[in-house]
Amino acid sequence: MTLLHTTRVRRRRLGVAAAAAGLLATLLTAGPAAATPDPGDTPAKGTISSEQAAEARSAIKSGEIPGVDEIVHSDNIEHLANIPKDALKGTNSDLAFQGTYAFSGNYDGFRIFDISNPKAPKTVAQVLCPGSQNDISVSGNLLFLSTDSSRSDNSCSSTTQPATEKSSWEGMKIFDISDKSNPRYVAAVETACGSHTHTIVPERRNVYVYVSSYSPNATFPDCQPPHDGISVIKVPRKSPEKSAIVNFPVLFPGEGPDGGGNPGSPTNPGVSKTTGCHDITVLPSKDLAAGACMGDGILFDIEDPEQPKVIDRVQDNVNFAFWHSATFNQKANKVVFTDELGGGGAATCNAEIGPNRGADGIYDIVGKGDRRKLVFRSYFKIDRPQAPTEVCVAHNGSIIPVKGRDLMVQAWYQGGVSVWDFTDSSKPKEIGYFERGPVTLAQVTTAGPWSAYYYNGYIYSNDIAKGLDVLKINDRRTDPAKRVRLDELNVQTQPDYFDRE
């Protein structure tokens, strides 16, 4: 374990740091094709000008941004531990939790940590199973892993293979984790266009898996346009080898080869064309789900998990480029949608981009039943500017469970970890943060927290480059959450926290 020294710098205002003007000009005029979400197997890299590098060095010297790899944080955040990457060298991705274990996705496979002592997590197992994303969830003795890169077969020893070949494989892998030190690969289900992310809807006998995937192509035999829906997999807990797709509900019905989602550019310049969903969050206690679907945000009913039904759909063709993820508040009367401007490959936390683009969108849910509507209230974006080499983007986060408040912790890649309050939907505000300075000042680099989640009194952050971080927040506004305990947490399957106290 490596416990890194923590320091503080003074609060900075958005607008102090330099903007990566040349990179962003290319990014924002290229249209949806530039908004490829999440880093690929090779992290994003790009050059900056000597003037931009000089401005970044000046900002570091003045204390306006942290130095290279320097750790800074607000007074109410403690950095307890960092566990660097080990056998799995790929991009770290999502996190899931069960009891005293944390499960960390990595583009090369997944890692299991014993977090019974959050100050000193220990590695229990590392499983090599390449397949980009490796989005991860757990339920009982089962672990689910998404593969969103074209592979030669469904094994963990597969190699890359073009999606134009019919024999190529992408989809869901399922492991038995009854022995945490020795996970067993037990089943696989191929899904159209792979599985970029997935969301589980657990039941007593079965687990339903909603598979989000997108970007079809007429040259891909297993990923044909318009692909305006999601794959629904039914997994029998006692016989996971019998897992199978039971439905492919179309969420964006429409005639023609492009379906009925957001058409993107040139109709809506700079907005991603909707060809599926990026991520879905379900709230089983309320039979609700929210989908972040490229150019659209949707609210749908999952009372029948095999037949999800869309209730409302919204677009933001002014400030949102790519609807990335969704989070409900505990009362299920709000949804936070994130915009992955630049697809996780550009520096977007700066004055040139501003506070409304590449931000979170906060929506109230008004009305009842099938007449419920998503009503926009405001944007939230971190106001701590980043160096022009730092890929910064709104990414995965979770609710911090406090009655009477809407609090959230969220990852922002090299923007770090932000804790913020959206109790007043129209006036969100940051109340704490943790971040590292740029990885380098030589080139644009993908790094920083992919996921930042609150679990049983602590914040766990999966840093793309640096490994697992454990944080603790000490603040009167968040302290009541320390009493809430869960047996299991998959953030995209939001629990009813207070029924479990």
DSSP H helical ranges for 195-263: none
Q: What CA–CA distances, in Å, run from 89 to 1, 92, 115, 130, 153?
A: 17, 8, 21, 11, 22
Q: What CA–CA distances, in Å, run from 324 to 37, 291, 441?
A: 8, 9, 28
What's the CA gap between 23 and 41, in Å, rounded? 21
242-255 residue pLDDT tens: 999 999 999 999 87
440 contact partners, CB below 8 Å, separation of at least 6: 68, 389
Predicted TM-score of the model (pTM): 0.92
pLDDT grade for 53, boundaries at 50, 70 and 90 = confident
Place of tokens 């701590």: 384
Q: What is the mean pLDDT of residues 468-496?
A: 97
425-449 residue pLDDT tens: 999 999 999 999 999 999 999 999 9
pLDDT grade for 47, boundaries at 50, 70 and 90 = confident
Tokens of 424: 């007043």
All structural domains of the chain with their residue ranges = 21-500
Tell me which residue of 473, 501, 469 sits closest to 485, measured CA to CA: 501
Query: What CATH code would you report for 21-500?
Result: 2.130.10.10
What's the CA gap between 146 and 367, in Å, rounded? 35
Beta strands in 131-218 (DSSP E): 133-139, 142-151, 169-176, 184-190, 197-202, 206-212
More confident residue, 20 or 183: 183
157 contact partners, CB below 8 Å, separation of at least 6: none
- Amino acid 45: pLDDT: 61
Across the strands, what pairs with 198? 211
- Amino acid 35: pLDDT: 32
146-183 residue pLDDT tens: 999 999 999 999 999 999 999 999 999 999 999 999 99
- The amino acid at 102: A
Q: What CA–CA distances, in Å, run from 71 to 266, 290, 433, 468?
A: 42, 34, 11, 14
